[in-house]
């Protein structure tokens, strides 16, 4: 069986057998083998106190609801059988004879506890239960077998008290007996968050927010062997640039750091006095600077305990000159976009210009901010925005690219604001049709199908390499032009007949497709990282674009990747094929967020930890400079990172382990800053404490990143087996400290959701087999798992299914998500499925007519607009439109210049440039600016000067508009539309139900950086499989159901 290769054989090929004779840390009882218990941790009996005080004394003895003693006895009698029943009867009789120094029944745990040593139990019994004649007679009466009194006491007390003590520290869950385990977990989490004790404990915790940095376990093993026994991966998940307005900003001239390990002062250092402090990582004693405790402006001493550095786990310093290798760079934004025939057919350029124009006031930057534009098809297109009107320069020679007028291609954002606005409003929306039509007597638009993406990136890197900055790359087709020797020309490697992987041969053949075909983009990315340049990729290609190869330009330069594909946009193949207009609207909304989000330039990040912890592997988009330093030319709040750790030295000498992540970056205003996050975790020597401190969300995230690496290095089948074996190893390790009282599949309470998440991963686009999946969508799903923050990754792995037909009030609580099983779908229900990249509204057939009227503004179920029916109508209306010529308006004034390599040395005079003739500007009726292309190859043409009044081509947007208009005519009540997001096609009506649903959807949209696609599906929809495929708990043609998966784990454990 295949397993992950984490440090120190975390998942070995076989679980190491444990010898009973040689093990000094275990003992044998009649209940099985258990680890020995430290006497200091044994819970002693205390005098009886009022019940309220006892509950305060043991606030976390049991997360489950307490039951009366009689109900507990009845439940235990049913579970443990007749033998245990007789022992409990004897134990109860003994407890009645004891002095009134017992714990009230309300404080007993639901499960038994740990076993203690026999001698200690015997001593306690002699001290607390003095023998009496009556008790001896009762003991002899029930002792039919003739065993003596001491043996009887030991047998009952060791078994029952031992189980009670053990499960007061470690909760066990029988997965085979738990129903709706996910829904129950969400309920318990909400109850815990609402408790005042949990809120106070969160406020008292000085560590940084768990959404910023969290470990896979909340208690660290003291040795590597103990970590290996737990079968838990050790790692840290980081979201260092998360937007948080509550982080204090320190503007002092002095930044206090350790002289030895360079750790920043934090809440977990030890203050020896007002002048000295001890580092919590290397334990070196340092002196406190005078500026840290004395305010020279007010001439008063400062209480050191009031310093923000000692009271916040997250802090941000304004860096001094010593943290600058060069002056802070300006914010530079260079947009490189494709203008081939595929781009013209998609029509995204108009949406791109609209998003950029509406975001100009919110783009981060200062007076030094620069901006530029480069387009590419089989040629390179440059735009000079320094002149009175935009100058369009064309470079046909892409084999030896050069920079024409580099000073004019990057213009100052604020001084050229009017020219930029004119370019985005008048020129760019009609590009490239305005330039392609100039000088063409036939009046036909000549669109190029070749994509010179490689040369365009090379010239873009040359343009901003002296400064650094961000390149926004928009791709719509497979790169097909450039130097063949460089590796920038790619071939179609995908065979549609091999998309379904159902054999070992096809599984092995898939591995090369998950890796880059050439190293051109990786080498260019490393050059970008050297010059502080990041490339962010937006892939809108509806066909194969070799995302595995092109994405390397973003992966190794610290950039982000956004893939839209056939309209799914989230890596999960659906039967939904959204129209280009819907995809463009989503692209426009995402671009607005992308342009206005926070950004940090020329950043580096280092993770420091206590001696004995070493870094094993980094996960995310970056370039590793050294063992603990990663280069991030740009850092954004939507990217996260995973770090896999190992224990290299024993940690017995430490009471706690600290991790500190420091991010050094330049903000958009040119200010150098250092953001520091610190967490502290205790060190334990007990395997039970380690199991009890596991974080199943963090573990799932780290295992997912490890599985992605295994898929690319070996095969997807090996990654699937490794995920399954991780669950088997964890359950096997749990059995070392827990012997089940009855047959079942028991697992630790804090890891109870790990098998459910593992099954969801096996059915995810990244790792699923037996279902047709595009290569680009599979690669994008893996890239999402490597760089997505934990909050969104868990939603991406296991979506949320909300029932909307129940009344709810967002002011009190949101709807409770259900288990992803079709058994939870009622025939009279309406459900919202949130997969992070998609929002599905699924309407069953027996919905009440009043609910249909209140939410969908229809009176019959068949009148609900279904996306499958809409697409079928669109395809029927678009077929005759493909052969129709479209009349276009004349383009705005733009100067076209051909650039030849022979005249690239001419500067401002442009002696070798040949301006093209501009067409006359007439006033005509504006029609759709997205041309439909004919099938000529390699170029296509469209007649734009025809005098006959031919009908205008109907596009997908027009069809969707007509459908909406027709549906609006069939409604019975007026619709009050107030939709903030244009993607949500659900009508907003003037009633409480409709408002609550819209507020809930708006809340979901505001809680994520990028917008999802929205789908309304009826129960009989042609696209219903796009919804049903997310029912991960159910069985499909190629994967287990959840119960079958648990049985599969149990069978492997019994081998």
In the chain, where the domains are located: 81-168, 182-205+694-794, 213-325+600-685, 332-596, 799-874+957-1028
Contacts of 355 (CB under 8 A, 6+ apart): 587, 588, 589, 591, 592, 595
* Low-confidence residues in the chain, pLDDT < 50: 1, 5-168, 439, 441-443, 567-577, 875-893, 902-979
pTM exceeds 0.75: yes
Q: Are the C-beta atoms of 1015 and 864 separated by less than 8 Å?
A: no
Q: What are phi and psi of 287, to 5 degrees?
A: -95, 145
State the chain's mean pLDDT as an integer.
Answer: 77
Q: How far apart are CA 923 and CA 920, in angstroms?
A: 10
Q: Which residues pair with 682 in a beta bridge?
A: 656
Instruction: Characterize the bridge pairing of strands 294-295 and 300-301.
Output: antiparallel
**Helix axis angle, 716-737 to 1042-1053, nearest 10°:** 70
- Ramachandran quadrant class, 306 (left: phi over 0; alpha: psi -120 to 50; beta: rest): alpha
CATH 1.20.120.730 matches 182-205+694-794: yes
Give domain 213-325+600-685's CATH superfamily. beta-sandwich domain of Sec23/24 (2.60.40.1670)
Query: So what's the pLDDT on residue 502?
Result: 63
Instruction: Characterize the bridge pairing of strands 411-412 and 800-803.
Output: unpaired
- The three-class DSSP label of residue 657 is strand
Of the candidates 661, 538, 643, 663, which has an alpha carbon nearest to the alpha carbon of residue 599? 663
Q: Are the C-beta atoms of 410 and 471 separated by less than 8 Å?
A: no
Q: What are phi and psi of 596, to 5 degrees?
A: -105, -5
Tokens for 1024, please give them. 């219903």
Of the candidates 74, 664, 595, 17, which has an alpha carbon nearest to the alpha carbon of residue 317? 664
- Ramachandran quadrant class, 489 (left: phi over 0; alpha: psi -120 to 50; beta: rest): beta
Can 213-325+600-685 and 799-874+957-1028 be said to share one CATH topology? no
**Helix axis angle, 696-713 to 775-787, nearest 10°:** 140
332-596 CATH fold: Rossmann fold (3.40.50)
Distance between start and end Cα atoms, the chain:
13
952-955 own/partner pairs: CB under 8 Å, 24+ apart: 952/884, 952/886, 952/887, 952/927, 952/928, 953/881, 953/884, 953/885, 953/886, 953/928, 954/877, 954/878, 954/881, 954/884, 955/347, 955/580, 955/581, 955/878, 955/881, 955/928, 955/930
Give how far the C-alpha of residue 1049 lies from the chain's centroid of Cα atoms, to the nearest Å.
Answer: 27
Which DSSP category does 259 fall into? T
3.30.365.10, 3.40.20.10, 2.60.40.10, 3.40.1000.10: CATH of 799-874+957-1028: 3.40.20.10
Q: Which residue is it, tokens 């007061």? A: 168
């Amino acid at each position: 069986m295949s397993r992950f290769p984490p440090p120190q054989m975390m998942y070995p090929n076989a679980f190491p057998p444990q010898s009973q004779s040689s093990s000094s840390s275990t003992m044998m009882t009649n209940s099985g083998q258990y680890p020995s218990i430290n006497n200091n941790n044994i819970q002693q009996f205390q005098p009886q106190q009022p019940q309220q005080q006892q509950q305060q004394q043991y606030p976390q003895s049991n997360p489950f609801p307490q039951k009366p003693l009689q109900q507990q006895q009845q439940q235990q009698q049913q579970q443990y059988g007749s033998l245990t029943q007789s022992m409990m009867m004897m134990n109860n009789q003994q407890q009645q004879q004891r002095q009134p120094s017992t714990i009230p029944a309300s404080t007993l745990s639901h499960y038994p506890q740990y076993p203690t040593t026999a001698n200690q139990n015997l001593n306690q019994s002699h001290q607390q239960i003095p023998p009496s004649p009556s008790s001896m007679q009762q003991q002899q009466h029930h002792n039919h077998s003739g065993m003596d009194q001491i043996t009887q006491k030991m047998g009952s007390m060791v078994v029952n008290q031992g189980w009670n003590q053990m499960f007061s520290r470690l909760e066990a869950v029988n997965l085979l007996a738990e129903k709706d385990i996910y829904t129950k977990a969400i309920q318990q989490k909400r109850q815990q968050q609402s408790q005042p004790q949990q809120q106070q404990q969160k406020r008292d915790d000085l560590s940084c927010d768990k959404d910023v940095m969290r470990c896979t376990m909340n208690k660290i093993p003291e040795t590597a062997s103990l970590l290996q026994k737990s079968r838990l991966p050790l790692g840290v998940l980081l979201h260092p640039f998360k937007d948080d307005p509550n982080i204090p900003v320190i503007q002092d001239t002095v930044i206090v750091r350790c002289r030895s390990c360079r750790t920043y002062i934090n809440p977990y250092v030890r203050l020896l006095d007002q002048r000295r402090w001890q580092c919590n990582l290397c334990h070196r004693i340092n002196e406190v600077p005078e500026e840290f405790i004395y305010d020279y402006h007010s001439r008063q001493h400062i209480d050191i305990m009031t310093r923000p550095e000692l009271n916040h786990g997250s802090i941000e310093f304004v860096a001094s000159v010593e943290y600058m290798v060069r002056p802070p760079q300006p914010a530079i934004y260079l947009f490189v976009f494709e203008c081939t025939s595929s781009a013209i057919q998609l029509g995204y350029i108009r949406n791109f210009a609209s998003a950029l124009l509406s975001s100009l006031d919110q783009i981060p930057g200062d007076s030094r901010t620069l901006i530029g534009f480069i387009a590419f098809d089989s040629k390179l297109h440059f735009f000079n925005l320094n002149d009175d009107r935009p100058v369009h320069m064309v470079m046909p020679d892409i084999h030896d690219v050069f920079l024409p007028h580099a000073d004019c291609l990057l213009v100052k954002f604020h001084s050229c604001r009017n020219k930029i606005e004119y370019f985005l409003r008048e020129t760019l929306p009609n590009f490239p049709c305005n330039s392609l039509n100039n000088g063409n007597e036939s009046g036909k638009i000549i669109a190029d199908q070749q994509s010179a993406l490689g040369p365009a990136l090379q010239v873009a890197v040359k343009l901003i390499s002296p400064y650094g900055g961000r390149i926004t790359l928009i791709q719509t087709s497979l790169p097909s032009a450039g130097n063949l020797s460089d590796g920038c020309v790619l071939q179609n490697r995908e065979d549609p007949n091999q998309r379904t992987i159902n054999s070992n041969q096809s599984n092995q053949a898939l591995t090369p497709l998950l890796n880059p075909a050439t190293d051109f983009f990786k080498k260019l990315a490393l050059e970008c990282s050297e010059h502080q340049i990041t490339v962010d990729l937006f892939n809108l290609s509806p066909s194969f674009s070799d995302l595995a190869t092109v994405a390397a330009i973003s992966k190794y330069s610290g950039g982000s990747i956004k893939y839209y594909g056939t309209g799914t946009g989230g890596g999960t193949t659906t039967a939904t094929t959204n129209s280009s207009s819907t995809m463009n609207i989503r692209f426009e909304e995402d671009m607005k967020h992308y342009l206005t989000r926070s950004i940090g330039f020329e950043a580096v990040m280092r993770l420091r930890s206590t001696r004995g912890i070493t870094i094993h592997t980094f996960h995310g988009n970056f370039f590793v400079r050294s063992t603990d330093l990663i280069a991030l030319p740009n850092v954004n709040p939507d990217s996260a990172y995973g770090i896999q750790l190992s224990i290299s030295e024993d940690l017995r000498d430490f009471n706690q382990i600290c991790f500190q992540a420091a991010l050094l970056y330049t903000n958009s205003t040119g200010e150098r800053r250092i953001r520091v996050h610190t967490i502290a975790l205790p060190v334990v020597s007990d395997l039970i404490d380690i199991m009890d401190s596991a974080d199943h969300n963090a573990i799932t995230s780290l295992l997912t990143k490890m599985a992605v690496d295994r898929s690319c290095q070996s095969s997807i089948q090996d990654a699937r087996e490794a995920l399954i074996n991780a669950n088997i190893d964890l359950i096997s390790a749990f059995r070392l400290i827990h012997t089940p009282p009855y047959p079942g599949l028991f697992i630790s309470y804090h890891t109870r959701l790990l098998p459910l998440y593992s099954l969801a991963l096996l059915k995810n686009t990244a790792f699923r087999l037996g279902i047709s999946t595009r290569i680009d969508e599979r690669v994008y799903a893996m890239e999402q798992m490597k760089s997505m923050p934990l909050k969104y990754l868990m939603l991406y792995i296991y979506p949320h299914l909300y029932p909307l037909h129940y009344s709810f009030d967002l002011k009190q609580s949101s709807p409770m998500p259900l288990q992803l099983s079709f058994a939870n779908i009622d025939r009279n229900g309406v459900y919202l499925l949130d997969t992070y990249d998609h929002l599905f509204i699924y309407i069953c057939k027996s919905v009440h007519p009043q609910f249909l009227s209140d939410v969908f503004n229809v009176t019959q179920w068949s009148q609900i607009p279904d996306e499958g029916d809409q697409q079928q109508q669109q395809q029927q209306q678009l077929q005759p439109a493909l052969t129709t010529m479209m009349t276009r308006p004349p383009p705005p004034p733009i100067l076209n210049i051909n650039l030849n390599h022979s005249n690239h040395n001419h500067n401002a005079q442009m002696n070798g440039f040949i301006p093209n003739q501009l067409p006359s500007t007439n006033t005509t009726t504006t029609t759709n600016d997205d041309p439909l292309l004919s099938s000529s190859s390699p170029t296509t043409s469209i007649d734009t000067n025809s005098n006959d009044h031919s009908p205008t081509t109907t596009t997908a947007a027009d069809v969707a508009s007509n459908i909406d208009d027709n549906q609006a005519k069939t409604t019975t009540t007026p619709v009050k539309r107030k939709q903030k997001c244009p993607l949500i096609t659900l009508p907003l009506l003037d009633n409480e139900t409709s408002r609550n649903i819209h507020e809930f959807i708006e809340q979901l949209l505001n809680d994520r950086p990028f917008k999802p696609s929205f789908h309304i599906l009826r129960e009989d929809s042609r696209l219903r499989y796009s919804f049903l495929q997310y029912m991960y708990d159910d069985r499909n043609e190629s994967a287990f159901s959840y119960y079958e998966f648990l049985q599969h784990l149990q069978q492997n454990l019994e081998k």
